[in-house]
Structure 1
Protein backbone atom coordinates (compact mmCIF):
# COMPACT_ATOMS: atom_id res chain seq x y z
CA UNK A 1 0.00 0.00 0.00
CA UNK A 2 1.22 3.48 -0.84
CA UNK A 3 2.24 5.88 1.89
CA UNK A 4 0.37 9.06 0.99
CA UNK A 5 1.75 12.49 1.81
CA UNK A 6 0.36 16.00 1.58
CA UNK A 7 1.91 19.25 0.45
CA UNK A 8 1.96 22.22 2.78
CA UNK A 9 -0.43 23.94 0.35
CA UNK A 10 -2.94 21.09 0.74
CA UNK A 11 -2.68 21.06 4.53
CA UNK A 12 -2.86 24.84 5.04
CA UNK A 13 -4.95 26.12 2.14
CA UNK A 14 -7.06 23.39 0.56
CA UNK A 15 -8.36 21.91 3.81
CA UNK A 16 -8.97 25.40 5.20
CA UNK A 17 -10.94 26.53 2.12
CA UNK A 18 -12.80 23.22 1.75
CA UNK A 19 -13.30 21.91 5.30
CA UNK A 20 -15.80 19.29 4.07
CA UNK A 21 -13.03 17.40 2.23
CA UNK A 22 -11.54 14.33 3.85
CA UNK A 23 -8.07 12.98 3.23
CA UNK A 24 -9.46 9.46 2.93
CA UNK A 25 -11.67 10.64 0.05
CA UNK A 26 -8.58 11.90 -1.77
CA UNK A 27 -6.85 8.57 -1.33
CA UNK A 28 -9.99 6.77 -2.50
CA UNK A 29 -10.03 8.88 -5.69
CA UNK A 30 -6.39 8.07 -6.48
CA UNK A 31 -6.88 4.35 -5.88
CA UNK A 32 -10.26 4.14 -7.70
CA UNK A 33 -9.89 6.73 -10.44
CA UNK A 34 -12.20 6.41 -13.43
CA UNK A 35 -9.71 8.61 -15.27
CA UNK A 36 -6.23 9.96 -14.64
CA UNK A 37 -3.91 12.01 -16.78
CA UNK A 38 -0.70 14.00 -16.59
CA UNK A 39 -0.97 17.70 -15.97
CA UNK A 40 1.48 20.52 -16.57
CA UNK A 41 4.29 21.12 -14.07
CA UNK A 42 4.82 17.37 -13.42
CA UNK A 43 1.49 16.79 -11.70
CA UNK A 44 -1.28 14.25 -12.21
CA UNK A 45 -5.07 14.56 -12.11
CA UNK A 46 -7.38 11.82 -10.86
CA UNK A 47 -11.19 11.71 -10.93
CA UNK A 48 -13.66 9.42 -9.19
CA UNK A 49 -17.15 9.63 -7.72
CA UNK A 50 -17.07 9.54 -3.93
CA UNK A 51 -20.00 7.62 -2.37
CA UNK A 52 -19.86 9.58 0.90
CA UNK A 53 -19.94 12.80 -1.12
CA UNK A 54 -23.23 11.98 -2.82
CA UNK A 55 -21.39 10.22 -5.68
CA UNK A 56 -20.17 13.60 -6.87
CA UNK A 57 -16.86 13.61 -8.71
CA UNK A 58 -13.79 14.78 -6.89
CA UNK A 59 -10.64 15.81 -8.77
CA UNK A 60 -7.40 15.17 -6.91
CA UNK A 61 -4.06 16.60 -8.03
CA UNK A 62 -0.82 14.93 -7.00
CA UNK A 63 2.83 15.68 -7.55
CA UNK A 64 4.63 13.51 -10.09
CA UNK A 65 5.19 10.72 -7.54
CA UNK A 66 1.38 10.16 -7.53
CA UNK A 67 1.37 9.83 -3.72
CA UNK A 68 1.85 13.45 -2.61
CA UNK A 69 -1.57 15.10 -2.66
CA UNK A 70 -1.46 18.77 -3.61
CA UNK A 71 -5.05 19.81 -4.36
CA UNK A 72 -8.60 18.47 -4.39
CA UNK A 73 -11.99 19.88 -5.28
CA UNK A 74 -15.41 18.87 -6.57
CA UNK A 75 -15.42 18.79 -10.37
CA UNK A 76 -18.97 19.63 -11.44
CA UNK A 77 -18.05 19.64 -15.13
CA UNK A 78 -16.38 16.22 -15.24
CA UNK A 79 -17.97 13.69 -17.58
CA UNK A 80 -16.65 10.12 -17.46
Structure 2
Protein backbone atom coordinates (compact mmCIF):
# COMPACT_ATOMS: atom_id res chain seq x y z
CA UNK A 1 0.00 0.00 0.00
CA UNK A 2 3.07 2.22 -0.10
CA UNK A 3 2.09 3.30 -3.62
CA UNK A 4 -1.36 4.41 -2.45
CA UNK A 5 -0.93 6.18 0.91
CA UNK A 6 -4.34 7.87 0.52
CA UNK A 7 -6.08 4.51 1.09
CA UNK A 8 -7.03 3.85 4.70
CA UNK A 9 -6.63 0.46 6.36
CA UNK A 10 -10.17 0.75 7.73
CA UNK A 11 -11.53 1.04 4.17
CA UNK A 12 -9.73 -2.14 3.14
CA UNK A 13 -11.03 -4.00 6.18
CA UNK A 14 -14.58 -2.79 5.58
CA UNK A 15 -14.43 -3.92 1.93
CA UNK A 16 -13.59 -7.44 3.12
CA UNK A 17 -16.24 -7.48 5.86
CA UNK A 18 -19.17 -5.73 4.13
CA UNK A 19 -18.55 -5.65 0.38
CA UNK A 20 -21.10 -4.20 -1.99
CA UNK A 21 -20.18 -6.83 -4.58
CA UNK A 22 -17.78 -9.80 -4.79
CA UNK A 23 -16.43 -11.48 -7.92
CA UNK A 24 -13.98 -14.35 -8.23
CA UNK A 25 -11.46 -13.96 -11.03
CA UNK A 26 -10.35 -16.87 -13.24
CA UNK A 27 -7.04 -17.02 -11.37
CA UNK A 28 -8.86 -17.43 -8.02
CA UNK A 29 -8.28 -13.92 -6.74
CA UNK A 30 -11.33 -12.23 -5.28
CA UNK A 31 -12.54 -8.72 -6.05
CA UNK A 32 -14.41 -6.83 -3.33
CA UNK A 33 -16.06 -3.44 -3.95
CA UNK A 34 -17.27 -0.89 -1.46
CA UNK A 35 -18.44 2.71 -1.74
CA UNK A 36 -16.29 5.17 0.19
CA UNK A 37 -18.50 8.18 0.93
CA UNK A 38 -15.56 10.23 2.18
CA UNK A 39 -13.97 10.01 -1.28
CA UNK A 40 -17.27 9.70 -3.19
CA UNK A 41 -15.74 6.75 -5.08
CA UNK A 42 -15.89 2.96 -5.28
CA UNK A 43 -12.91 1.09 -3.90
CA UNK A 44 -11.88 -2.27 -5.38
CA UNK A 45 -9.86 -4.53 -3.10
CA UNK A 46 -8.38 -7.63 -4.74
CA UNK A 47 -7.40 -10.46 -2.42
CA UNK A 48 -5.56 -13.71 -2.93
CA UNK A 49 -7.81 -16.80 -3.03
CA UNK A 50 -7.72 -16.98 0.79
CA UNK A 51 -9.97 -13.89 0.85
CA UNK A 52 -7.76 -12.14 3.39
CA UNK A 53 -4.37 -11.34 1.85
CA UNK A 54 -4.70 -8.06 -0.08
CA UNK A 55 -3.08 -8.22 -3.51
CA UNK A 56 -4.15 -4.77 -4.74
CA UNK A 57 -6.53 -1.93 -3.91
CA UNK A 58 -7.56 1.14 -5.87
CA UNK A 59 -10.46 3.45 -6.64
CA UNK A 60 -12.29 1.84 -9.55
CA UNK A 61 -13.48 4.53 -11.99
CA UNK A 62 -15.20 1.94 -14.20
CA UNK A 63 -17.35 0.30 -11.51
CA UNK A 64 -21.08 0.76 -11.97
CA UNK A 65 -23.43 -0.55 -9.30
CA UNK A 66 -26.29 -2.73 -10.45
CA UNK A 67 -29.89 -2.46 -9.28
CA UNK A 68 -30.09 -2.89 -5.52
CA UNK A 69 -26.53 -1.68 -4.92
CA UNK A 70 -25.66 1.85 -3.80
Q: Same fold (TM over 0.5)?
A: yes
2:56 to 71, 76, 80: 71
State the TM-score, normalizing by the size of structure 1: 0.73
Could you say which structure has the higher helix fraction?
A: 1
Question: Who is 1:26 aligned against?
Answer: 12
Which aligned segments of 4 or more residues in structure 1 are displaced greater than 6 angstroms? none
2: distance between equivalents of 1:55 and 1:31?
Answer: 19
TM-score, with structure 2 as normaliser: 0.82
